[in-house]
Structure 1
Amino acid sequence: MTIIHVPDRPVGTLTDAWRACVGTGRFNLALRKDYQDSLALVQSEIGFHHIRGHGLLGDDVGVHRPYEVSGERRLLHSFTYVDQVVDAYLALGIKPFLELGFMPSALASGDRTVFWWQGNITPPADHDEWADLVRGVVGHLVGRYGIEEVRTWPIEVWNEPNLAQFWSGDQDAYHRLYEASAHAVKEVDADLQVGGPSLSPGSDEWWAPFAEFVTARDVPVDFVSRHAYTTGPAQHVPFGTYQTLRAPSSLLEQFDAPRRHLEGTALAGLPVHITEFNSSYRPDNPVHDTAYNAAYLAPVLAAGGDLVDSFAYWTFSDTFEEVGIPTGIFHGGFGMLTHGQIKKPTYHLYAFMARMGSHLLARGADHLITRDDAGRITVLGWQPVGGTEDGPEPERHTLRLSVPVDAATAFVMRSSVNETEGNAWAAWREMGRPRFPTSRQLDALREAAEPVRRHTSVAVDGCRMNLELTLGRHEVTLVEIDPVRDESPPWVDDVRILGR
């Protein structure tokens, strides 16, 4: 097998696009303790910059509050829950990526809804009142948190309007909504960021009409957004879903789609945000709980920042209720964490990425290698995986590297997750798939979820170290290499510890 010769000098920069944003369940869920505990853990070990979810304007947040006085209809904008959620986010070092939706029922033109929690998907009955609502929300946030802060919060208009499940109007109706929303945002402050159209996969025919509309009518657009998933039609079973999968390269192709379709338009060159992505678009597909999912997404995290400005994993936590209240601890939820903060293999992929440096040394089909400012080299390795049609992966995958190290000896720490290591889902299956584990079982699952860690010292020959990594099935591994500066005093003799 070929040895990969890692260059001495950086060949580029690893951007933070992979953690610029993360997805979440609907806005109201952020009031729950389990949600906040999960987000605190994610922020302590990964540190996302922004968080995006649905439901900011839904009835369960209670912003839009019409009332009557002497038979006259009036409006109150109430921010009791908005302030609690945003305060909690900022305290954890994460900013909102605001999504304007869904429609408050008292402003809606119809009664069509989506999800178990019934988000209204109809256009506003009164676009002036909708614009007033947008101005009210954004203006309140500016007044509470300051204009310099809120200018760093992107504001996205609606969610997947190209799908009838999320928007009962047509494309022209979305354009009208976008126009009213964008102007309302800019009336609060011209430097606030507003964008869209937040398209789902498979609807690239929307790009050209959107670009033509906003250009012809001089509607503000500061960024464009879309989503990316790679699964086929849902094959439903009770409280679960199975789906086919395309190869992970399909995600990167979808990331690149907005730039391709907007080339030559007035929107070419705008920032591109992938405001949702994952393997499956279903919140009850067990693939999300597996080591395969982590290996599947590793090349996407390694290369996605070359294509877009952010790509938000959907979602950080299983505190999520689109198809109802989850029926068990492992239920195929989108989250990196289960309820109760059990870490899934995909969580570890992100935690490994968070330990990497910004100086890119090498990148390939099974590896990403960086150096940080202190000289520490990190190697993220993974077993390449394919989609449904590619068949099963082998039991082992080997990666051989020649790594530059400026010392006579290197300390090597390796952390791994695969089908049997660092894999709480595998342990849960071996337990008999308890739907509601006992306290003792939960403790065991949390222990089983931790990566397996190994460490050693390696001699360096001529400022280079040979590193051979054998990865198990669906493994993702992080190797951290630090130069050793030996500070052992001359009288130390470890052989004498036992007095021999």
Structure 2
Amino acid sequence: MKMRSVLITLLCSVALQLTAQTPVSIHVDLAKTQGAYTPIYRWFGYDEANYTTMTHGRQLLTELHNLSPVPVYIRAHHLLTSGNGVPELKWSSTNVFTIGPDGKPAYDFKILDGIFDAYKAAGVRPMVELGFMPKDLAINPDPYQVHYPQNTISGGSNNPPKDYAMWGELVRKVTQHLVERYGRDEVLQWYFEVWNEPDIAYWHSTPENYYKLYDYAVAGVRAALPGARVGGPASTGPGSTHAAAFLNGFLKHIQTGKSAATDGPIPLNFISFHAKGHPTVIGTHVQMGLSNELNDVDKGFAIIAKYPAFKHLPVIISEADPEGCAACSAKVNPANNYRNGTLYPAYTATAMKAIFDLSDRHQTNLFAMLSWAFEFENKDYFEGFRSLATNGIDKPVLNIFRMAGLMSGERVSTTSTAQIPLDAILASGIRQSPDIDAFATKSTHNAAVMLWNYHDDNLPAEAAQVQTTISGIPASVHRVLLHHYRIDEHHSNAYTVWKAMGSPQQPTPEQYATLKAAGQLQLLDSPQWLAVTSGQVIITTKLPRQAISLLRLEW
């Protein structure tokens, strides 16, 4: 371990010297494939399910649909929570289930239908999170709703059911209704996840009772829709001892093959857990905690890899984010102001490649990296929530997902003279030299290279001169068309435009139109045709700190 630590330090030192003294050289070899490019970027989620049907929520859903050539999936909390359907921070409700004076269950799907109808209208698909507990079904339900900024998960909505069979029947009824409304073939394309983070205060009971909750839930889903995709446990980051133990315990429970609901095998079609970073304020600047998130992923993959029977199952990181509270704005935590600018997308690009690399290392079936970010209604412009848009204006982070949507096919080999080794990032993040690296894909008639200049510390720095050599272009191709997309202070960035306007909280119609346009993914230069020599092209660019480029070649 000591020799490994010395080697990591030496490699980081060499990268620092190269970055400071010479241009960065990146080599992409399209002939060396590294596996399929699974579209892990196309998953999003949020606490406030009722935002779905609001004007900006509907607009954003359409934008999410449009950024990906394959279906986008949406996960939301509170789909079964009791209430009037009025959202608050970290709260929503559908009032789908009540128990009448006669003691019999009653179902009202009006609010739930509105949410799922909005998904259908936008062309996105639900990841149906089965939670939280309806008031009339919860043990000791009062107080049921606890309002933010108090601990919103301390209320009765996170209690276990007083009757597990009734819980299973609720899930069956909901699933049956979804099948009747949207069609069997459509709902078979969805994913059903049982609860959220049951290893912490989102679940006011024991792990064993969660296993029971899971058993009854999946039995209910499968009773209404045989073949439905069901899974869990959506536990917190396995980098912590208690979360690792919970994920292990859940998989051991599935392995027993004895459901509390059916006394038979326990269905499991995917495995989910969460991974979070940990930003802080150091003096006057934000320092990200990328290593925290990646260690969660590393430990989670390692646990799953220990179970041969489950190792092939899709792994959905159903929350993968720089930190844990989307609804905590920069007014609450100044470190969260990173969410408005280019640091957030640069972090996301770096994390995405590392997560693919960790999946390759553990030989797991990585399927999704879900960003727990959507939008917040009736809040200040650029207030610093973890969101993709603010009052209908797209933030820079949304453009990293647009870039990812322009990549397809197979992942291919990349090397960089200024990349930080994966083990070094796991050990200490990116705290010395920046990580100037690339992630690339190729298809039959195109290739795409994502470049970034990322550092955990959000401090000014000189731009890097980057020379990217792309080799392995088919011998029959003599010219390629380059589209060079960029996210930086001056491109694909409505935040800097808004600040230049004087940070208006009531922009004029003209200002609003300018901000809408500035929030879209933009080209750095006009498209250009490049000559191919000996199967390769060389592209040079100046890449600022916390900036991202996408070089897309077509032939």
In the alignment, which of 322, 334, 350 is matched to residue 299 of structure 1? 350
1:18 and 1:304 in contact (8 A); partners too = no
Q: SS where residue 369 of structure 1 aligns? A: strand
- 2:493 is the counterpart of 1:423: yes
Deviation at 1:339, TM superposition (A): 2.0
Aligned to 2:375: 318
1:246 and 1:386 in contact (8 A); partners too = no
Structure 2 alignment gaps of length 5 or more: 1-22, 86-93, 260-265, 330-335, 360-365, 420-436
Matches within 5 A, 1:344-423: 344-364=395-415, 365=419, 366-373=437-444, 375-383=445-453, 385-388=454-457, 392=459, 394-404=461-471, 405=473, 406-423=476-493
Deviation at 1:89, TM superposition (A): 1.4
Whole-angstrom distance in 2 between the partners of 1:445 and 1:37: 15
1:18 and 1:305 in contact (8 A); partners too = no
Aligned to 1:253: 295
Aligned to 1:44: 66
Q: SS where residue 421 of structure 1 aligns? A: coil
Q: SS where residue 228 of structure 1 aligns? A: strand
CA gap of 1:475–1:34, structure 2 versus 1, over 3 A, is same
In the alignment, which of 30, 49, 53 is matched to residue 52 of structure 2? 30
Q: Give deviations 1:331-351, integer Å, cap 9, x for gaps.
A: 1122222221x2222111111
Aligned to 2:511: 441
- 2:541 is the counterpart of 1:469: yes
Whole-angstrom distance in 1 between the partners of 2:145 and 2:37: 38
Whole-angstrom distance in 1 between the partners of 2:518 and 2:345: 16
Aligned to 1:173: 209
In the alignment, which of 224, 228, 232 is matched to residue 192 of structure 1? 228
In the alignment, which of 82, 87, 106 is matched to residue 76 of structure 1? 106
Deviation at 1:454, TM superposition (A): 0.4
Aligned to 1:62: 95
- 2:132 is the counterpart of 1:106: no
Moved more, 112-121 or 467-476: 112-121
Deviation at 1:268, TM superposition (A): 4.0
Query: How many positions carry a matched residue from both structures?
Result: 462
Deviation at 1:311, TM superposition (A): 1.3
* Divergent runs of 4+, >6 A: none
- 2:272 is the counterpart of 1:225: yes
TM-score by length of 1: 0.84
Moved more, 139-148 or 351-360: 139-148
Structure 1 alignment gaps of length 5 or more: 236-241, 484-500
CA gap of 1:6–1:234, structure 2 versus 1, over 3 A, is closer
The amino acid that maps onto 2:186 is: E
2:194 and 2:214 in contact (8 A); partners too = yes
Whole-angstrom distance in 2 between the partners of 1:269 and 1:198: 18
Deviation at 1:63, TM superposition (A): 1.0
The amino acid that maps onto 2:66 is: S
CA gap of 1:272–1:12, structure 2 versus 1, over 3 A, is same
Aligned to 1:495: none
Whole-angstrom distance in 1 between the partners of 2:213 and 2:30: 52
Deviation at 1:401, TM superposition (A): 2.2
> Percent identical across equivalent pairs?
25
- 2:388 is the counterpart of 1:336: yes
Whole-angstrom distance in 2 between the partners of 1:173 and 1:417: 46
- 2:167 is the counterpart of 1:130: yes
2:276 and 2:322 in contact (8 A); partners too = yes
Q: Give deviations 1:5-55, integer Å, cap 9, x for gaps.
A: 433525134423423422134322222122111111221133543110101
Q: SS where residue 168 of structure 1 aligns? A: coil
In the alignment, which of 200, 205, 210 is matched to residue 245 of structure 2? 205
Moved more, 30-39 or 184-193: 184-193
Whole-angstrom distance in 1 between the partners of 2:293 and 2:40: 13
Q: SS where residue 106 of structure 1 aligns? A: helix
The amino acid that maps onto 1:314 is: W
Whole-angstrom distance in 2 between the partners of 1:209 and 1:198: 13
Q: What CA RMSD, in Å, does the superposition of the two structures yield over aligned residues?
A: 2.8
Whole-angstrom distance in 2 between the partners of 1:104 and 1:130: 9
The amino acid that maps onto 2:28 is: V
Deviation at 1:198, TM superposition (A): 0.8
2:41 and 2:404 in contact (8 A); partners too = no
Deviation at 1:153, TM superposition (A): 1.5
Deviation at 1:83, TM superposition (A): 2.5
The amino acid that maps onto 1:192 is: A
Matches within 5 A, 1:453-468: 453-455=524-526, 456-468=528-540
Whole-angstrom distance in 1 between the partners of 2:550 and 2:61: 23
- 2:11 is the counterpart of 1:11: no
- 2:122 is the counterpart of 1:92: yes
Aligned to 1:493: none
1:420 and 1:426 in contact (8 A); partners too = yes
In the alignment, which of 115, 119, 144 is matched to residue 181 of structure 2? 144
Whole-angstrom distance in 2 between the partners of 1:99 and 1:14: 27
1:26 and 1:56 in contact (8 A); partners too = no
1:10 and 1:359 in contact (8 A); partners too = no
Q: Give deviations 1:388-416, integer Å, cap 9, x for gaps.
A: 5xx74632123222224554444322121
Deviation at 1:357, TM superposition (A): 2.8
1:25 and 1:319 in contact (8 A); partners too = no
The amino acid that maps onto 1:473 is: R
1:259 and 1:268 in contact (8 A); partners too = no
Whole-angstrom distance in 1 between the partners of 2:46 and 2:60: 11
Q: Give deviations 1:54-78, integer Å, cap 9, x for gaps.
A: 011012312103223xxx2222222
Whole-angstrom distance in 2 between the partners of 1:367 and 1:213: 40
Whole-angstrom distance in 2 between the partners of 1:2 and 1:447: 32
Q: Give deviations 1:198-233, integer Å, cap 9, x for gaps.
A: 111232121222223333362322222111110157
2:277 and 2:323 in contact (8 A); partners too = yes
1:134 and 1:181 in contact (8 A); partners too = yes
The amino acid that maps onto 1:338 is: T
Whole-angstrom distance in 1 between the partners of 2:404 and 2:273: 23
CA gap of 1:124–1:398, structure 2 versus 1, over 3 A, is same
Moved more, 261-270 or 167-176: 261-270
The amino acid that maps onto 2:304 is: L
The amino acid that maps onto 1:132 is: E
TM-score by length of 2: 0.76
Whole-angstrom distance in 1 between the partners of 2:442 and 2:213: 46
Moved more, 112-121 or 254-263: 112-121
1:17 and 1:304 in contact (8 A); partners too = no
Whole-angstrom distance in 2 between the partners of 1:198 and 1:168: 15
